[in-house]
Amino acid sequence: MYDFTGLIQGINKWLHSILPAVAADVVGWILIAAAFLGLFAILGLVLVLAERKIAAFFQLRLGPNRIGPWGIFQTVADAIKLLLKEPVGTNRADSFLYNLAPYFVIIAALMSMSVLPFAKGLHAYDIDIGVFFVIAMSSLGVMGILLGGWASNNKYALLGAMRSGAQMISYELSVGLSILTIVLLSGSLRMSDIVASQSDYWFIFKGHIPAWIAFMIFIIAGTAETNRTPFDLTEAESELGAGFHTEYSGLKFAFFFLSEFVNMFIIAAMGAILFFGGWMPLHIGGWDGFNHVMDFIPPIFWFFGKVSFLIFLIMWFRWTFPRLRIDQLLTLEWKYLLPMNLANILLMAFIVLMGWHL
């Protein structure tokens, strides 16, 4: 019912009708970039506020309640403070790499978001290797953390960066294998094809027990990928001061801070697309009346509703579980999650081969 393909094509034709072909393409790219940068900023403000409110809920307190009604403008005030703050560094830092590192994490997050389908026809680039592209781009973020920790010339920052390298390289295996389990079901790496494959049932139901196992591993490994509690060994305020961004302040610190929340959104969005149908409404085969009612709900609401639920789940982890030690963190991946993932892929391949997922 809601298809944005015609709207996007109409805007493209209008731009080409009033501008030369090259200029129209450039203006189109600028509009897309502006839209994603705006979404990037809004996500940062909203998710930081949500984090504080959810933390307050779990700890039986109010949270931000001074600036604006119910404290909803607290994150806006924080953003203004970070923008106006003087950037303070250290003379011992490698200035070029020190200044370059925050842009790595921001660009990696923006590139990963570019292939996410928010609704039918509403995506920047529907590439045929979309899943692989997200995995590849998200893995670039660790480069920014490693560069920032090393270039700061601070032992705590370096320890945090090295922990991040070990952690993200390890847990990328579990994230990739859990995604591959769902790719076996869809038979495609294109995001739109994966969503379309769930028009009757979401993969979390169609994939039976292996899909549930893959989902649980994906959420655990995805939380580790974003360096969030209980896997925040890269920051570990009680041990490393602030970890890899100890020597950063002002806007550069804001880039690192913002990228963590945007990466959490990307993990939640990938979880919604792979396991819960993305923007696809809840459909049950044979229930035509129920399916017709579900179709009236706009796909944007479905997508962001599922993403919000998964973000809440990830935030719930933070205020429930204590931080792991670095040896416990790596043991969890190499001795438990990875063998489970390998066995789960074989089980899913057998189910697909037998046709029990249809």
Alpha helices (H) in the chain, listed in sequence order: 5-18, 21-58, 74-84, 95-113, 130-138, 141-151, 155-186, 191-196, 203-206, 208-225, 237-240, 250-275, 288-295, 299-318, 326-331, 338-354
The pLDDT tens digits for 93-147 are 888 888 888 888 888 888 888 889 988 888 888 888 889 899 888 888 888 888 8
Residue 38 lies in a domain: no
State the pLDDT at residue 188: 87
| Structural domain of 341 | 93-354
| Residue 107 located in a structural domain | yes
Q: How far apart are CA 104 and CA 89, in angstroms?
A: 18
Considering the domain boundaries, does residue 45 fall inside one? Answer: no
| Residues 34, 39: Cα–Cα separation, whole Å | 9
- Residue 273: band (very low, low, confident or very high) from pLDDT cuts 50, 70, 90: very high
78-101 confidence digits (pLDDT tens): 888 888 888 777 788 888 888 888
Number of domains in the chain: 1
pLDDT in tens, 227-242: 888 888 776 666 666 6
Cβ–Cβ under 8 Å, residues 215 and 205: no
**Residues 160 and 243: beta-carbon distance below 8 Å:** yes
User: At residue 22, does pLDDT exceed 80?
Assistant: yes
Give domain status of residue 40, yes or no. Answer: no
244 within a domain of the structure (yes/no): yes
Residue 171 lies in a domain: yes
Q: Are 191 and 275 in contact (CB under 8 A)?
A: no
The answer to the question of residue 105 being in a domain is yes
Q: What is the pLDDT of residue 177?
A: 92
54 occurs within a structural domain: no
Q: What is the DSSP letter of 15?
A: H
